[in-house]
Amino acid sequence: MIAYYEDGDNVITMAMNGWGAAEPAWWLNLEANPNAEITLSRGETIGVVARSATGEERDRLWERWRQLDRGLDGHAARRPTQTAVVVLSPPGSAELLG
């Protein structure tokens, strides 16, 4: 299970491996093949397409995470690279078109 929050039709999570340096295997798999199915905490299974948020979108989504976890920046500072904010969108979503 990974932590997430919903942002409109998108599910937002972070690619972290216990705040260690290595990228989590699930994220490496999604980078190679972004089509997946996820099961939300309420038991609903949905199809999604994964991508990493960039620019202003990443900033906005990161800020929301900071509201949920006040220690986020301190945890993230342990990693040698920027933590990917992962956007899981419904297939065919306009969000995918950038």
Q: For the chain, give every domain's residue range.
A: 5-97
The 10 Å CB-count burial string (b at 16+, else e) for 42-59 is: eeeeeebbbbbbeeebbe
For the segment 4-58, what is each residue's pLDDT rounded down to a tens digit?
999 999 999 999 887 788 889 999 999 999 999 999 999 999 999 999 999 999 9
pLDDT of residue 78: 87
CATH topology for the 5-97 domain: Pnp Oxidase; Chain A (2.30.110)
- 87 band by pLDDT with thresholds 50, 70 and 90: very high
**Can you say whether residue 92 is alpha, beta or left, with left for phi > 0 and alpha for psi between -120 and 50 degrees?**
left
